[in-house]
C-alpha cells in the first residue's frame, strides 16, 4: 500500500478579482503584455476579513465533505504555505482547531514555496505508510495569501501572483502505480520574499532566470517520475504542472513532444497561487468532469529554493 488515492478535493479563492486592466491602471503594463507573456488574465486577492486560513478552511471543508470523511478519519494534517496568517501557530494547527481534529492528529506546515503541495503530499504519504497514525486519511492543503508580500508598484512581479487555496483528502492504495521525486538546487537569490526589511518582505525575482530553471527542471522531473514508475507519458491521463506561466507549460509540451490537451492550464483565471496552484487545478479538473475517478495524474512543480518535484496520484 504505497500509492496515493485521492478521496476528495476542494478549492477556494478570496472575493476580490483583479483584472489585467485593473493592474494597468496601477503600474506601467497592459492586458496584452500580461496575456502574451504569461497567459494570465485575472487573479483573486484577499479583501477585508479574508486571509490564508479562511481560504484554506473553506477548501478543506469541501474536500472532506466530498471525500465523505469527518475529523475522526484524519490521521495527519499537512499544509503547504509560506504565507500563513501567523508565523506560528501554523496554518495546519489553525485548521486543526477549526475542523476539530483529535489531539493525536499531528498538524504542521511545510515550506517548499510553489513546490510545497508536492512536498506536503509526500510527507503525508510517508506518515500514512509508516502505519502509526490514529486514522487512515490525511488532509493535505496548499494555500497562499501572496498579496501580502506582493509589491503592487513592481510590474515585473505584481502581475503574476494571486491568492487561493485547495485541499485534498488522501489515503493509501495498493491499486495504483506510485513514484515521487523531490529536490532543490539550493539557490537563495533568484526568487525570495519575506525578509525582515521593509522592501525585503516583498517578492523579488529574476523572472528570466526562473523561467530558464523551470523549463529545464520540469521535463527532467516528469522523465524521472515516469522512469521511477516504469511508465511512459501515454500511460498517464493528466499532467498537472504548477501554473506559473502558460509559456513554461507550452515549452514543456514541445520538449516532451506531448499532447497539449494532457496538460491542464488555469493560470488565466487564478495567476500563480504558489503552493495552491496544483491542487486548485486538480480540483477544477475533477469538478468539470475533465478527469475521472481512477485516472492517473502526474503532478509537477517548481519554485523558490529552487525547489522542484513530481508525483503520481490516483484520482
Ligand atoms: C516574469 C516573466 C513573465 C517576464 O517575461 P520575459 O519575457 O522573461 O520578460 P523580461 O523579464 O525579459 O522583460 C522583457 C521586457 O518587458 C518588461 N516588463 C516586465 N514586466 C512587465 C509588465 N508587467 N508589463 C510590461 N512590460 C513588462 C521588462 O521591463 C522588459 O523591458 P525591456 O526589454 O525594456 O528591458 C517571465 O520571465 C516569467 O514568467 N518567468 C518565470 C517567473 C515565475 O514563474 N515565477 C514564479 C516561479 S514559482
Residue 234 has a pLDDT of 97
Centre of ligand 1 to C-alpha 205, Å, is 10
CA of 161, closest atom in ligand 1? 46
Nearest-CA residue for atom 28 of ligand 1? 156
In the numeric block, the cell 491602471 is attached to: 25
Neighbouring C-alpha atoms within 13 Å toward the C-beta of 128: 29
Cβ of 149 closer than 6 Å to ligand 1, yes or no, is no
- The three cell numbers of residue 264 are 491542464
CA of 23, closest atom in ligand 1? 23
- The three cell numbers of residue 146 are 501572496
Residue 198 has a pLDDT of 81
CA of 158, closest atom in ligand 1? 23
Calculate the alpha carbon distances from 80 to 108, 113, 266 in Å. Answer: 9, 8, 20
Residue 197 has a pLDDT of 84
First-to-last C-alpha distance (Å) of the chain: 16
Q: Which residues contact 132 (CB under 8 A, 6 or more apart)?
A: none
Centre of ligand 1 to C-alpha 208, Å, is 7
Centre of ligand 1 to C-alpha 216, Å, is 18
- The three cell numbers of residue 290 are 475533465
How far is residue 189's CA from residue 149's CA, in Å, rounded to a whole number? 16
Could you give all domains of the chain from N- to C-terminal order, each with its CATH number? 3-173 (3.40.47.10), 180-314 (3.40.47.10)
In the numeric block, the cell 523531490 is attached to: 182
Contacts for 122-129 with beta carbons within 8 Å, 24 or more apart? 122/180, 122/182, 122/309, 122/311, 123/78, 124/76, 124/78, 124/170, 125/2, 125/4, 125/170, 125/172, 125/180, 127/75, 127/76, 128/75, 128/76, 128/170, 128/171, 128/172, 129/1, 129/2, 129/172
- Could you read off the pLDDT tens digit of each residue along the chain, which spans 315 residues? 799 999 999 999 999 999 999 999 999 999 999 999 999 999 999 999 999 999 999 999 999 999 999 999 999 999 999 999 999 999 999 999 999 999 999 999 999 999 999 999 999 999 999 999 999 999 999 999 999 999 999 999 999 999 999 999 999 999 999 999 999 999 999 999 999 888 899 999 999 999 999 999 999 999 999 999 999 999 999 999 999 999 999 999 999 999 999 999 999 999 999 999 999 999 999 999 999 999 999 999 999 999 999 999 999
CA torsion angle for 75, 290, 274, 251 (degrees, to 10)?
Answer: 130
Query: Looking at the annotation, which residues are catalytic?
Result: 114, 242, 272
Instruction: Name the residue of 30, 33, 207 whose CB sits within 8 Å of the most ligand 1 atoms, as the mutation to test its pocket.
Output: 207
How far is residue 185's CA from residue 192's CA, in Å, rounded to a whole number? 14
Cβ of 207 closer than 6 Å to ligand 1, yes or no, is yes
> How long, in residues, is the chain?
315
Q: 217, 223, 260: which is closest to 242 by C-alpha?
A: 217
CA of 157, closest atom in ligand 1? 1
Nearest-CA residue for atom 24 of ligand 1? 29
Q: 267, 305, 280: which is closest to 110 by C-alpha?
A: 305
Residue 92 has a pLDDT of 98
- The three cell numbers of residue 114 are 510553489
Instruction: Name the residue of 31, 82, 142, 156 whose CB sits within 8 Å of the most ligand 1 atoms, as the mutation to test its pocket.
Output: 156
Residue 155 has a pLDDT of 98
Contact 76, 126 (CB under 8 A): no
Nearest-CA residue for atom 38 of ligand 1? 207
pTM above 0.75, yes or no: yes
Contact 121, 305 (CB under 8 A): no
Instruction: Name the residue of 208, 267, 270 whose CB sits within 8 Å of the most ligand 1 atoms, as the mutation to test its pocket.
Output: 208
Share in percent of the chain as helix, strand, coil (round to 5): 40, 25, 35
Amino acid at each position: 500500500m504505497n500509492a496515493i488515492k485521492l478521496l476528495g478535493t476542494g478549492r477556494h479563492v478570496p472575493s476580490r478579482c483583479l483584472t489585467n486592466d485593473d493592474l494597468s491602471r496601477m503600474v506601467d503594463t497592459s492586458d496584452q503584455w500580461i496575456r502574451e507573456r504569461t497567459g494570465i488574465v485575472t487573479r483573486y486577492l484577499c479583501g477585508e476579513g479574508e486571509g490564508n486560513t479562511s481560504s484554506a478552511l473553506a477548501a478543506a471543508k469541501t474536500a472532506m465533505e466530498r471525500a465523505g470523511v469527518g475529523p475522526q478519519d484524519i490521521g495527519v494534517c499537512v499544509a503547504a504555505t509560506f504565507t500563513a496568517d501567523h508565523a506560528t501557530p501554523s496554518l495546519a494547527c489553525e485548521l486543526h482547531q477549526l475542523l476539530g481534529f483529535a489531539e493525536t492528529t499531528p498538524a504542521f506546515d511545510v515550506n517548499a514555496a510553489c513546490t510545497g503541495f508536492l512536498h506536503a503530499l509526500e510527507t503525508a504519504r510517508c506518515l500514512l505508510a509508516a502505519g502509526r497514525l490514529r486514522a487512515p486519511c490525511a488532509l493535505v492543503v496548499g494555500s497562499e495569501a501572496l498579496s501580502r508580500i506582493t509589491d503592487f508598484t513592481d510590474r515585473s512581479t505584481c502581475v503574476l501572483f494571486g491568492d487561493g487555496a485547495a485541499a485534498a483528502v488522501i489515503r493509501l492504495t495498493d491499486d495504483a502505480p506510485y513514484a515521487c521525486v523531490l529536490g532543490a538546487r539550493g539557490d537563495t537569490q533568484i526568487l525570495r520574499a519575506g525578509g525582515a526589511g521593509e522592501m525585503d518582505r516583498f517578492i523579488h525575482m529574476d523572472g528570466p532566470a526562473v523561467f530558464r530553471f523551470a523549463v529545464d527542471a520540469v521535463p527532467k522531473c516528469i522523465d524521472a517520475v515516469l522512469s521511477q514508475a516504469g511508465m511512459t507519458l501515454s500511460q498517464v491521463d493528466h499532467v498537472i504542472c504548477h501554473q506559473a506561466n502558460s509559456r513554461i507549460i507550452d515549452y514543456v509540451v514541445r520538449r516532451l513532444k506531448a499532447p497539449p490537451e494532457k496538460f491542464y492550464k488555469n493560470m488565466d483565471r487564478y495567476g500563480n497561487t504558489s503552493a495552491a496552484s496544483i491542487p486548485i487545478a486538480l480540483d477544477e479538473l475533477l469538478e468539470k468532469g475533465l478527469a475521472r475517478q481512477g485516472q492517473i495524474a502526474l503532478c509537477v512543480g517548481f519554485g523558490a529554493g529552487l525547489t522542484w518535484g513530481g508525483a503520481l496520484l490516483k484520482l
